[in-house]
Structure 1
Amino acid sequence: MLEHSLDLNWLRDFECLARTLNFTRASDERNITQSAFSRRIKALESWVGLPLVNRATYPVQLTEAGQQFLPVALAAMSQLSESRQSLRDADRGDSRFIRFSVLHTIAVNFLATRIDELQRQIPELRTRVLSDSLSTCCDLLIEGAVDILLCYYHHSVSPMIDEAAFERKDLVKDRLVPVAAVEPARTMGWDLARQDGPPIPYLAYDRSSFLGMVVENTIDRKCLNTETIYVDSLVETIKRRLMTGSGVAWMPETAITAELDQGLLVPVGDDAWSATLTISAFSNPSGFDQIAHQLWERL
């Protein structure tokens, strides 16, 4: 049997659960669904080879193995963070890189173009972008591993960032809209408002992902005549399936502007099926040098 490799996020999840002793509160703090959080704790227990949490008590308690493993996990996270900071300091040299942690779709469809514009305005600007999940991006900011976090904000699913410690800037509005390739949409009559006919093939985000949670909140108790045929966490991979006419999917408008303008994609639902998102930036500018301050002011 193949053995799982250790994921640093599992250690962060375990520390959070050990502190809160509550799966719901810990999953909220880690910005993932409770089911996904539980799976990651079980994956860590599988890696260790012993139960770390006693789920039969309320509140949950750490087992004896969990109590022994907690200081090991905390020490490992601390050592990794210190090592990363040392490497960052050594890497800076005379030309300091400003580091971003960014959701992948924002990096591709917003930040890349914005950095091009900013580097023309600030020729000395040097940047490094780390694309990952929302929880990892938030952790990187909180631990000081990056200077700026870019993420989506939505009224039902928002990152838990201490706004007393970090400044927030709302940069641009985006919309999450249900769309399909024009030919199959017209030929097959795909419309989310229709309840009759064969189910519409649906390309879905993983429910533990940020966009997956926003879509679930948008659908809520609406009746959907769809059949999920594909699940992924990345906008770009779902978009590839979308463009081949495989089904309908919710897409950020920033990711499909050209395709909508060219008539390659069309909406398959009215505004009631869409969600408004905000691309927001978080940082603590108090430690910025002059170049970083210029970037933050113009971002």
Structure 2
Amino acid sequence: MRLEWLEDILAVAETGSFSEAAERRHLTQSAFSRRISSIEAHIGLELFDRSRKPVQLHATTREQRDQIARLVADLRQLVTDLRQGDRKDSNRIVVASQHALTTALTPTLLSGIQSSNADIFVKLRSANLDDCFALLLSRQADIAIVYRLPDEEHPISTEYIETAIVGRDRLIPVYSSAKVSYLNERFARGELPYIAYPGDVFFGRVLERLVLPTVRRLTRPTPKVETALTLAALEMAAVGVAAAWIPGSLAAARINDGSLFDLSETLPSVALDVTAVRLRGTAGPVEAEIWSHLVAMAAIGEN
């Protein structure tokens, strides 16, 4: 059981409202509701009676409320004790990176950072988008590198975070070059087999909002496989399972060597911002140095 999960449970218990608890936890209501659903799925039972207003704890949860509160206090103190003293003065930093960026753009960003200061030690934690923000908010990560749709905000109030655009990418449709004739035949018959992403992950939401409505005007999209891993979707597209929408940075090498075909001339693609995110407030010297370097790299890239 994670500390942030226990804190989420207490926030609902204390406010009696998912919307107020979400505000307290610095998340949008939809992102917070997904977190609560994930907690309940992990435990295997419902924690709250949603039929009552204000929201009530189920009896089993209510009986454990005091123990949850004690655990939260003890874990917070443990974290403080473990981190106190040397973290902000050391050359160590924790970076959370969205999975799709961990094997593509993040290594380039980290290489640029270490070229300016070879003594910096970076602990890289790969996670999905929501977990990257959870790591940031619980101070288990100093900086997060994540995707965002242009002109949209992250699911955390700008009052609490600072964001810098450090790169640009694009979600593009790709398929095996050797088997593209097969895909064309299916397309001509009014069908597009594709790799789906779960609806509760970032790329799943992007596909449903910005890609599939356009595809449906062209043909009938038919999901063949669902995966949350873009690397898995890339490999399945490369062997001809179905078309997949993949970040261009991740697909570039396969496109350049001819094994993948970029379908963007026929099918829609989506622009993406690559952003660095950190909590507002006092930063240690290493975090401040790395943040300045990221911002400087972004400025150079735009010129």
Which of 176, 188, 197 is the equivalent residue of 1:181? 176
Name the residue aligned to 2:44.
Answer: 46
Residue 235 of structure 1 deviates from its aligned partner by 1.1
Which of 160, 168, 180 is the equivalent residue of 1:165? 160
Residue 172 of structure 1 deviates from its aligned partner by 0.9
The change in CA–CA distance for 1:7 and 1:174 in structure 2 (over 3 A counts) is same
Name the residue aligned to 1:219.
Answer: 211
1:127 paired with 2:125, answer no
The change in CA–CA distance for 1:21 and 1:257 in structure 2 (over 3 A counts) is same
- CA-based RMSD of the aligned residues comes to 3.4
1:229 paired with 2:232, answer no
Query: Does the 8 Å CA contact 1:32/1:209 hold for their aligned counterparts?
Result: no
2-structure distance, mates of 1:270, 1:134 = 29
How many residues were matched structurally? 287
Which of 188, 191, 202 is the equivalent residue of 1:199? 191
Which of 274, 286, 291 is the equivalent residue of 2:286? 291
TM-score (norm 1): 0.80
Residue 78 of structure 1 deviates from its aligned partner by 4.2
Name the residue aligned to 1:73.
Answer: 68
Name the residue aligned to 1:248.
Answer: 243
2-structure distance, mates of 1:33, 1:243 = 36
Gaps of 5+ in 2: 295-303
Name the residue aligned to 1:3.
Answer: none
DSSP-derived class of the 2:126 partner: strand
Name the residue aligned to 2:300.
Answer: none
1-structure distance, mates of 2:139, 2:162 = 14
Query: Does the 8 Å CA contact 1:180/1:268 hold for their aligned counterparts?
Result: yes
DSSP-derived class of the 1:136 partner: helix
Name the residue aligned to 1:140.
Answer: 135
2-structure distance, mates of 1:297, 1:91 = 21
Residue 209 of structure 1 deviates from its aligned partner by 0.9
Gaps of 5+ in 1: 1-5
